[in-house]
Amino acid sequence: MIVFTFASQKGGVGKTTTTANLGAALASGGARVLLVDLELQGQLGVSFGGRAKKPQDIGSALLDYIDAQDDVQDEGSDSNSAFDSMTPLRERMLDRTVLLKEAQFANPGTLHVIGSVMGVTDRARTEIAKRGWGATPCLRKLLESVAENFDIVLIDTPPSADALSSVALAAADYVIAVCNPRLATADGARVVRNNVQRVPERTEQRCHPKFLGTVLNEAKSPSKRTDEADAVDGFLAKWDLAPFSNEIRTSDQISASYGISRPIVIDEPSYAASRWYEDLTDEVIARVKASRSAA
């Protein structure tokens, strides 16, 4: 199982849409995909036509796990016994594989989502923050319990450096930053990369995510390039933020598909916007393979 976390320091850069469409592209190609929504607004689940309800949500799962972990530590038991008293993560998922079947992909995989309930996820953020860095690997431990059920996990994160973002970075094998052709969001990608590099030390070497690169969303076509777009390209290169060559441009079709709770990769797979995401997905997988070959 490979875990990807998508992160940004600014809201509105298209991180959730990117996560949803890459997940859809992977599942449509045959992968067993799980999407985890750590955004308080819960928009990742909504983009697949499902709104989470307690306790079938990620915040409840995190709260149950850290409470159980507290009990285990008080009793001096083995940490794995924390799972014994809680609802399994597998039972909190919404199965959206039906979307792949409706789209009649040739060899689809599976598609599951664990959504977010705002108040519950916010409470989980508070409880994790109280416990400090020792609680940061909690999501990673939860995902390990379903490793045999999925090939790929994609995590959507809040646009900030809070406790939930730290949890998501610690859970990842690879972290992908998302930005726009605006310098403020490009600098956010640099912050994400720097935070990734600090995770091993902060988790006492329990978690070792790698920064995979930066996705440029709402990219400008050659005929509409601006001076700021050129400056963003220069900034990403200067700070070694590894921008992907396959960019996502602005498209009304992408937002229209979101409006009917279908990522465009599923809703209209023949559209050019769908191919942007599919090409980006291929590039992401190629980078992972290269990273593993070099290790």
Residue range 183-223, pLDDT digits in tens: 999 999 999 999 999 999 999 999 999 999 999 999 988 88
Q: Is residue 174 helix, strand or coil? A: strand
The answer to whether the predicted template modeling score (pTM) of the entire model surpasses 0.85 is yes
Q: Report the amino acid identity of residue 24.
A: A
Q: Which residues pair with 56 in a beta bridge?
A: 53
Query: Once rounded to an integer, what is the mean pLDDT over residues 240-244?
Result: 97
Mean pLDDT of the chain: 92
C-alpha 82/C-alpha 127 separation (Å) is 17
Strand order in the sheet with 110-114: 94-95, 110-114, 32-37, 152-156, 2-7, 174-179, 210-219, 248-249
Tokens at 123, concatenated: 């409470």
Q: Is residue 245 helix, strand or coil? A: coil
Q: Is residue 3 helix, strand or coil? A: strand
Reference 124, options 176, 168, 93, 94; nearest CA is 168
Instruction: Give the pLDDT confidence score for residue 82 in this predicted structure.
Output: 61
C-alpha 183/C-alpha 273 separation (Å) is 24
Query: Once rounded to an integer, what is the mean pLDDT over residues 22-27?
Result: 97
Q: Report the amino acid identity of residue 173.
A: D
Please tell me which residue, 257 or 231, carries the higher pLDDT value.
Answer: 231
Return the half-sphere exposure (C-beta side, CA atoms, 13 A cut-off) of residue 236.
25
C-alpha 123/C-alpha 121 separation (Å) is 5
Are 179 and 8 within 8 A, CB to CB?
A: yes
Are 140 and 207 within 8 A, CB to CB?
A: yes
Question: If phi over 0 gives left and psi between -120 and 50 gives alpha, with beta otherwise, what is residue 42?
Answer: left
Residue 71 reports pLDDT greater than 80: no
Share above pLDDT 70 across residues of the chain, in percent, rounded to a whole number:
96
The pLDDT confidence band at residue 49, using thresholds 50, 70 and 90, is: confident
